[in-house]
Chains A and B, each alone.
Chain A
Amino acid sequence: MKTLSCDVLVVGGGSAGVAAALAAARQGAATVLIEQASQLGGMGSQALVHTFCGLYHPKVELGPQWLNPGIPTEIGEELLRLTGQAGPDLMGRYYVLRSHPAVWAALAARLVAAEPHLRCVTHAPLQQVRRETGQWQVLIHERGAPVDVQARALIDCSGDATVARLFAPELAETTAGQHLYRPAMVAVFPGVAEPLTDERRMELIAHVARAVKSGRVPAAAQAATFRSSPCSDEVFVSLDLEAGGEAWDPAREDQLQAAWATAQAAIQGLVTYLRAAHPLFQAMGECRWPDRLGIRESARWRGDYVLTGGDLISCRRFPDEVALAGWPLEMRETARGPKFRHFEHAEPAGIPLRSLQLSALPGLFFAGRCLSADHEALASVRVMGTCLATGQAAGVAAASLA
């Protein structure tokens, strides 16, 4: 059996994992990044999520200010350059960087490939996690073939606390089904004649409302929102899903299938309707589907400190903070739109290192959506901009053990 040995093993190649792997490798640690899908980027490529939130300082009167130095700023700047944008959009009260899934996936791949101390293994789901004589022993299947990876430090950036599930399930937390943040499907409508201005988006809302009222598209399509790509003639259509309400469990294949089917029917209904009824869409190409549903919440670690919604809202800072959160609590417990709970001040909140580690398990770190936070805090720290920051922090911490 093939074996690999490294200083730092990063599980999951989404925004957090890419940042963690780059950070560790740039510190000189021999780093391996594993990703189960065929490409890097996580939700930002696999699920076609096309906005990076949490990259900017929340005080918008300052103009766009990068919030977390290092890799989040580097990636933010590259995304702007590659999509031909001068800066972010102001969406509601916050700056948001409009991205493109293919651009992010390519950027992640390029940055990772450029690091001499970093080896990336794709098509490699995690199978087993053990601990032996102070080292992590991890079994992966690379395109079906078993590979043993030995690492001094392990960073769980799986989004679903997969390492916990395999190694220490009692350390994983989840949320009751009815409160679990709803999944979404994002699809791409290519060949849309012109970009969607605010005015056009309002017209589109009325169109879709009529289509829903007259039964020409499924009622689930009511939750659809539209946003133009910054760098192509494509429109991203996002649809939040009720996904069975309190029965929703993203770990269950049957649930994922059911949510997928509902979403696809609703979006396909929109395609048919808009092609017939709306001049901007009449010549659109075939709708492009994501590889995965967008998952906003699944399971997370319980670390040395559980970051709370209250911490974030009060803009609490910590002596051991390693990243800054600048996105409000965007709570999507239903498909009827987000409920925002804003920080008390237009200032960032700190994320402590203790939320990325567990002293009982030395050499283990977690970052991104599955870090140690309560359900409310997750509504803020799950966004990709913040994941880049917590990933970077975990990567630096893990490398320091090498």
Chain B
Amino acid sequence: MPAPRVSAQSILDLLISEQILETDLPLEPNTDLFSQGLDSVAMMTLILQIEDRFGIALAPTEMKREAFATAGSLALFLNGKLAA
């Protein structure tokens, strides 16, 4: 099976480098992103960055809260899209 294109770490790096989330806590793959400030504006920036960085465009119907809950769940979701 080919290596996943999107890692949880790359999501975390993106959240920090693009200042999507600003937090003193070290972000882990299973940190709840909503509690760290993933609000509407941050979400918008995130999905635009996902498209720029990973070439993945998300359809409105794919926007499920569970997918965005953690960097880990998001990576899983995005890799699932790539494999499909």
Contacts and interface: CB of A to CB of B under 8 A. Distances in A.
A350 to B, nearest CB: 25
Given A205-B44, A206-B59, 15 more contacts: A199-B63, A202-B43, A202-B63, A203-B63, A204-B60, A206-B63, A209-B48, A209-B51, A212-B48, A213-B51, A213-B57, A336-B19, A336-B41, A339-B22, A340-B37
Contact of B48 (A204, A213, A225, A340): A213
A66 interface: no
B58 interface: yes
A216 interface: no
B62 A206 contact: yes
Interface string A238-280: 0010000000000000000000000000000000000000000
A201 interface: yes
B39 A205 contact: no
Interface of A: 92, 198-199, 201-210, 212-213, 222-223, 225-226, 240, 336-340
Contact of A205 (B19, B57, B61, B63): B63
Contacts of A340: 37
Nearest to A340: B37
A202 B45 CA distance: 12
Nearest to B43: A205
A84 B48 CA distance: 37
Interface string B23-59: 0000000000000010111111101100100000111
A201 B64 CA distance: 11
Mostly, the B contact residues are helix
A133 to B, nearest CB: 53
Contacts of A212: 48
B50 to A, nearest CB: 9
Contact of B47 (A201, A205, A225, A336): A205
A337 B58 contact: no
Of the listed residues B37, B51, B65, the one surrounded by the most CB atoms of chain A closer than 10 A to its CB is: B37
26 contacts: A199-B64, A202-B43, A202-B63, A202-B65, A204-B60, A205-B40, A205-B43, A205-B47, A206-B58, A206-B60, A209-B48, A209-B51, A209-B58, A210-B60, A213-B48, A222-B44, A222-B45, A223-B44, A225-B39, A225-B41, A336-B41, A336-B45, A337-B39, A337-B41, A337-B42, A339-B22
Contacts of B41: 223, 225, 240, 336-338
A222 B43 CA distance: 11
Pairs of residues from A and B, 9 with the lowest C-beta to C-beta distance, nearest first = A337-B41, A202-B63, A203-B60, A206-B60, A225-B40, A206-B63, A207-B60, A209-B47, A205-B44
A92 B32 CA distance: 12
Contacts of B45: 222, 336-337
A222 B42 CA distance: 10
Contact of B61 (A203, A209, A240): A203
Contacts of B39: 92, 225, 337
A240 B47 CA distance: 19
A223 B45 CA distance: 9
A339 B36 CA distance: 11
Contacts of B62: 206
Contacts of B19: 336
Nearest to B47: A209
Nearest to B51: A213
A210 B57 contact: yes
Contacts of B61: 203
Nearest to A210: B57
Contact of B65 (A198, A207, A209, A337): A198
B79 to A, nearest CB: 19
Contacts of A210: 57, 60
